[in-house]
Amino acid sequence: MPFTHHSHSGQFCPGHAKDGLEEIIQLAIAKKFHTFCLTEHMPRHEEDFYPEEIEAGNTEAGHVANEAAYFAEATRLRTKYADQIKILIGFEIDWIRPTSRLLIEESLARHPFEFFMGSVHHTLTVPIDYDRALYEKARDLAGGTDEQLFEAYFDEQLDMLQQVKPVVVGHFDLIRLKSDDPERSFTEYPRVWAKILRNLDYVAGYGGLLELNSAALRKGMSEPYPKAEICKEFLARGGRFCLSDDSHGLEQVGLNFHRVLPFMEQVGISTVHYLELGEGDAAVDQRFPRTQIQSVTLAEMKAMAFWTQDGATTQ
């Protein structure tokens, strides 16, 4: 799809992503993207650093400085390429513990960001998408089963949704990535499924967007985040979707979008939403006065230049 609402660069997400931010934007232009949203990770407290960050000697002050450098470079690049691509400057949150809200508010106070991606990468303060060993640690803390960990994850996700109401909700069902069977239907766990439906009700109620995230496909799963069964329930609630590649470098820009398109048709998603900057009273959130939600039909999107370029069907 010619939109993404979720991206990272090696320049500002070292150890986790690759390549420079300008190179990534240049590739997005070459691929004829319409909108490219930048969402480098927010600063975190040292107790929540990943192993490679600890090894590299990262500090909390360093994270804040990295955020400032990211915002400055993103602003420069948006101006430089304004006539070629639409760029929004946001960040991806890490909802880990009660102090996460304060960190988010501090980021919003430091820089005039235009939205943030609401994500949960930790459950019971342990990373659940980093590797299998940490996933198992989190699962043991939850009681020892995938079902118990899923319940804890969706409860923490609800807490995040209620406290910060993100404009875009990131990889809604990320918790399945390192589980024993990522393809298993959540409906096989009635208590988990009830929590999923509850969270979907909440997102639909405040008007948030769920991202359709193609990263699940490159990680070996047959469906993007979220699974078809979740998408159908969100649609039934009047929910709206946007699109993301969750790219972590040049090789992942637009990756597997050709597989997301038939998935959308299969699920019944006929309208695609995207963020855009504008003026007036159409802001989606008072925290982001220039950020608006626009939409195109799936048929209109399929006619965009992204799909007519050479190789678009295999990117």
Q: Report the range of poorest mean pLDDT among 21-35, 41-55, 92-106.
A: 41-55
**pLDDT interval class at 1 (50, 70, 90):** low
CATH code, domain with 26: 3.20.20.140
Q: Is the pLDDT of residue 178 over 80?
A: yes
Q: Number of structural domains, the chain? A: 1
- pLDDT given for residue 55 in this prediction: 82
Query: To 10 degrees, what angle do helices 146-164 and 190-206 make?
Result: 10
b/e map 67-87, b = 16+ CB within 10 Å: beebbebbeebbeebeeebbb
Domain that holds residue 126: 3-314
CA pair distance 271, 20, nearest whole angstrom: 32
pLDDT in tens, 43-89: 999 999 888 888 888 899 999 999 999 999 999 999 999 999 999 99
Q: What is the pTM of this model?
A: 0.94
- CB contact set of 313 (below 8 Å; sequence gap of 6+): 258, 307
Measured over the CA atoms of residue 62, residue 68, residue 72 and residue 73, the dihedral's sign is positive
Quick one: tokens of 216?
């699940």
For residue 159, count other CB atoms closer than 10 A to its CB. Answer: 15
